[in-house]
Structure 1
Amino acid sequence: MLALQLYGINPLGELVLAVVVSIVLVAIGTYVGVLMALQSFFGESSWEDVTPVNRNE
C-alpha cells in the first residue's frame, strides 16, 4: 500500500520503486538461470553436489 502511495504522490518515490522492482526482477532471473544451468550442465540441484568430494576441511 505504501509503495502505491509513493508511486502516485512523489516522482522520486516512483523512480526508487522502479529501480527496486528492476533489481528484484534481475535477482530472481539470475537465481532461476543459475538453477537451470546447474540442472542442465551437471544434473544437480545445488552447488554442494557439484563440488569435489575430497576437500580438506
Structure 2
Amino acid sequence: MSWIVLIASGLLEAVWATALGKSEGFTRLWPTVIFGGALLASMGGLAFAMRGIPVGTA
C-alpha cells in the first residue's frame, strides 16, 4: 500500500509543479487552488508512505 501511495504522491508532485507555473505568481485563482490542494495531498501521501518505506527510498 505504501508504494501505491508513494507513486500517487509523485504524480501529484508533477501536478502541483505544473499548477505553480500556470498560477502566474499566485494571481490566477484556479491554478493556485489546484497547486495548494495537490501540494497538501502530495506531502501528506509522502508522510504516510514513509511509515512503511525507508526515508532514503521514499
TM band (smaller chain): 0.3 to 0.5
* Structure with more contact order per residue of length (Cα contacts < 8 Å, sep ≥ 6): 2
Q: Which has the higher helix share?
A: 1
TM-score (norm 2): 0.47
Quick check: which has more Rg, 1 or 2? 1
TM-score (norm 1): 0.47
